[in-house]
Amino acid sequence: MLLSEEDITRLEKQGFTREFFVRFDREGYALLRNRQGCCVFYDTQKRGCSVYAFRPSGCRVYPVIFDEENGVVVDSICHAQATISEAEKLRRGKQVLRLLEKIDAEAKSRRSK
């Protein structure tokens, strides 16, 4: 899951250190860390997100994602994919595209430093 600076700041305000939940790739993108194949914020006992109210923007629009070959789609691996109407997909798709523009600009800024 890609993270924006806004996502990072929101989670840091909850007391989490950047080192705990973020890793940066070689291109400057901030990615949510995984632990044992799951998001670091996934509570395996409760089977849910431990930071739901503060979750990253990409999690908020999921299961609508951007696929490089097909554009905005509903993630086929999500068990709730059938609950997303075409109108909801379009609405969230616009959010996904704006988010990706922001994340791309932030990564570009990190690379130029």
Instruction: Say what the pLDDT of residue 88 is.
Output: 96
Q: What is the pLDDT of residues 27-69, one digit of tens each?
A: 999 999 999 899 999 999 999 999 999 999 999 999 999 999 9
Q: Report whether pLDDT(113) > 80.
A: no
Q: What is the pLDDT of residues 6-38, one digit of tens each?
A: 999 999 999 999 999 999 999 999 999 999 899
- The residue type of 75 is D
Instruction: Say what the pLDDT of residue 58 is.
Output: 97
In a 3-state reduction of DSSP, which class is residue 41?
A: coil
CB 57 within 8 A of CB 82: no
Counts of helices then strands in the chain (DSSP H, E): 4, 9
Q: Which residues contact 54 (CB under 8 A, 6 or more apart)?
A: 10, 11, 13, 14
Residue 64 gets which letter from DSSP?
E
